Amino acid sequence: MNNIDKADEAQLLATIDRWIEREVAPRVKEFDHADRWPAEIVEQMKEMGLFGATISPEYGGLGLPARTYAEIVMRVSSVWMAITGIFNSHLMLALAVEKFGTERQKQHWLPKFATGEIRGGLALTEPDAGTDLQSIRMVAKRDGNNGYVINGTKTWISNGIEGSCFAMLVKTDPIANPRHTGMSLFITPKKEGFKVGRKLEKLGYKSIDSAELIFEDYRIPADHLIGEVEGKGFAQVAGGLELGRINVAARGVGIAEGALRLATSYAQIRKTFGKPIGEHQAIALKIGEMATRARAARLLTLDAADIFDRGERCDMEAGMAKYFSSEAALENSIESMRIHGAYGYSKEYDIERLYRDAPLTCIGEGTNEMQRLIIARQWMRRNPVS
């Protein structure tokens, strides 16, 4: 990813702030409560170039560094986290093609991804395989010399209904040992043999569709295999998870900061016993903890993004950021709701949406239990006994 001039970054972030204030904030309840696809907002995101945010300018994208991209995600998520999933899942598809695809694949697909003409996501999870990706069962079999036939089911796929193309992890050699050497990643546009199953209803994360994807004798040309070499899929997916975890960390920061902002405002307006509730020690202690959590989450996330931008390995730092920021989102949303009292439980107030959205960040892009294992493993490898 490219560096960005500070003045250009400031201008971009100011544009994002104005858009959130004028277009997103006034309509978020309307879309969220109806769980309705925000078509108008998606078109605005296309116009701002968000679907090409991290794609290289060579292919028509903005080429933003991870740090700037994280700042955008934080700002949007502080008001409405769900819509960041619409462009982030899409950008994971684009990252797989740009990082591991052939030049011909990049030239063909990336310009269309960058404009949002083709939108989609990353399809990894299956009914019996989530965190343990090596347990997937979807299989791609050779169809002569010219292509593959894919059969199987994916589930919990973001943009599954509204998207039109996905990076799909499959088994090309189901009996390979070790298992990961038999996995490959394909570019799979919607066409005959590709059906969308049921829309999955969720506690939060509304308006972005999560769906089952069903493949029955889905035929695809060989040049849709990313990199056109079998057996590289697991490594290709792992190569994108660091940025994915930085994104989820940024979402957590946004929710934590949004919950803090709402609590701060309410604590200065709401009065009990003749003074604002923020002047009561019990509430002040909560706000002090919330402010510290949000700040620490932001710094961890930007630290991971900076390491990613330098091209260094950051699975430990991205894991730390994702783990801490998502837990900060959960804690801050709960504390903000408690500060709001009964009003926090009302759908008229924004805090109930942040409260519903926060748990997703603890699950998405690898559970927090898995993050702690990754952190511990990497920490010990980097600090061996001498």
Contact yes or no for 229/182 (Cβ under 8 A)? no
For the chain, how long is the longest CA-to-CA vector? 80
Alpha-carbon distance values, 276 to 249, 258, 262, 283, 285 (Å): 33, 20, 14, 10, 14
CA distance 355 to 346: 11
In the three-class reduction of DSSP (H, G, I as helix; E, B as strand; rest coil), residue 40 is classed as helix
Q: How far is CA 171 from CA 70, 94, 124, 159, 168, in A?
A: 32, 21, 11, 22, 10
Cβ proximity of 243 and 228 under 8 Å: no
Q: Which of 43, 331, 365, 369 is catalytic?
A: 365
Length of the chain: 386
Find, among 113, 238, 125, 134, the residue nearest to 187 by Cα.
113
Question: Nearest CA to 316 among 370, 253, 358?
Answer: 370
327 has catalytic annotation: no
Tell me the catalytic residues.
Answer: 365
